Structure 1
């Protein structure tokens, strides 16, 4: 099965091959939870689109990591997937329906988003904060139902923060707070989860905790995940698919053992490295930074 997608900036022959690969990938991967078509995405303050690509796919029931250097368009693409940013051209389809057609509560029942920017009063306990994740399923004055309590307990358990349930968020470490915010998103009880750099600024212990939670959700709860990651090695280990972006364009995408190459590390990350593959996945040994 061909799963490679090559950069739109390569030769005309390569561009034709890329279009063919793109069509084959969309059909051969089976059901897709989220699909982006003919995309140009920007901000009101930008004259040109920040991201442009023909096709982006999050296969159903799999973990897909968005990778690339700073400013490559990863977070912009994720925001548009979650309908927080309307494309200038094209659309994202969630189970065949444009995300722009969903009302906000309706979309929140289908899609959970953990953005980079989140804050809450430090006096809130962990349980109270996680309870806010049930907002799509409740009216403004509704009390919590048994189903709500079950979802809250499940989210706290999955995120591994049961021992922190009564702790005020002001007293949590950065890693603990991130796990609690993930628990709040999990309380939405959606089949699709989007996370924007959930491991940034965390120590290695908490990074692995976060990634293990993501892996558990996917394998045991069949949640489809799209996650922006800075660490290409971490992405290669935990994700089923990688979407590699460079300067707002799709450089490549597919399984990690096909996408993570010495060429990609040089072209996209400007790093001279050796890549070997084993049973765990691609292993990257960096040597030096490539001068601009």
Structure 2
């Protein structure tokens, strides 16, 4: 089955643990090669794009990252500019402007000189997001960006990503475990199970009670809450 990521949209990759979401994201980023089929980016085969050129087209925020003890927030965000300049070349005015912009957009500019080890989980995750944003690509790939965050920091990050999409037309592909958040903050969704695409399309259509119940093997119902439709597991006797 063929899948498609629409330009300028937010697409959620959803499915049970072990369904192949991270593997698919790795393929989309060019980190692993497909054993069958092909992946194209703007009508160009992904396997034919140089790694250095691909890094200027898409940026990946992995699921987990090491925290260097000696780096400050601004140090980490600066790494996002590496694909655009040789390691031996000093930062240009444009690099500094983009770094400042990334920190302002993610709300971390007020603590740019703090050590990474002094940050809360939410502050650290926004710093990683600023780093990939400083890469200044049209496409952002985010692997479980809200994992381990409390509900307040989850919503804060989701809103930041949504604003980046709407204001700068960034194409977002993210893996989210919270199906209600995926439904609310995504335009489209791809439902995956056992390495296969089960359904894809409008997020509110794909994330429905029937398909979710079948794929997750857990009975769920759709409930109305004010203007929202919320998935919730059925009570078990």
Same fold, judged at TM 0.5 (above): yes
Aligned length: 237
> How much has 1:95 moved relative to structure 2?
0.9
Mapped to 2, the partners of 1:121 and 1:79 lie a distance apart of 24
Aligned to 1:117: 64
TM-score under structure 1 length normalisation: 0.78
Structure 1 position 86 matched with structure 2 position 33: yes
8 Å CA contact 2:67–2:117 kept in 1: the answer is no
The 1:173–1:133 alpha-carbon spacing in structure 2 relative to 1, beyond 3 Å, is: same
Mapped to 2, the partners of 1:280 and 1:216 lie a distance apart of 21
Structure 2 stretches lacking a partner, 5+ long: none
Structure 1 stretches lacking a partner, 5+ long: 1-53
> How much has 1:117 moved relative to structure 2?
3.1
Q: Structure 1, residues 231-270: CA drift from partner, whole Å, max 9, x if none?
A: 1111000000010011111111111221122211210122
> How much has 1:81 moved relative to structure 2?
0.2
Mapped to 2, the partners of 1:232 and 1:93 lie a distance apart of 28
Aligned to 1:265: 212
Aligned to 1:250: 197
Aligned to 1:232: 179
> How much has 1:282 moved relative to structure 2?
3.3
Mapped to 1, the partners of 2:43 and 2:226 lie a distance apart of 35
Runs of 4+, deviation exceeding 6 Å? none
8 Å CA contact 1:79–1:85 kept in 2: the answer is yes
TM-score under structure 2 length normalisation: 0.95
Greater per-residue strand proportion: 1
Match of 1:199 among 135, 146, 149: 146
Q: Structure 1, residues 27-48: CA drift from partner, whole Å, max 9, x if none?
A: xxxxxxxxxxxxxxxxxxxxxx
Matched position secondary structure for 1:271: coil
Aligned to 1:283: 230
The 1:280–1:244 alpha-carbon spacing in structure 2 relative to 1, beyond 3 Å, is: farther
8 Å CA contact 1:194–1:227 kept in 2: the answer is yes
8 Å CA contact 2:183–2:207 kept in 1: the answer is yes
The 1:79–1:152 alpha-carbon spacing in structure 2 relative to 1, beyond 3 Å, is: same
Task: Let me know the Cα RMSD of the aligned residues.
Answer: 1.6
> How much has 1:161 moved relative to structure 2?
0.8
8 Å CA contact 2:20–2:192 kept in 1: the answer is yes
Mapped to 1, the partners of 2:158 and 2:45 lie a distance apart of 29
Aligned to 1:8: none
Match of 2:102 among 147, 152, 155: 155
Mapped to 2, the partners of 1:246 and 1:289 lie a distance apart of 24
Match of 1:241 among 170, 182, 188: 188
The 1:198–1:179 alpha-carbon spacing in structure 2 relative to 1, beyond 3 Å, is: same
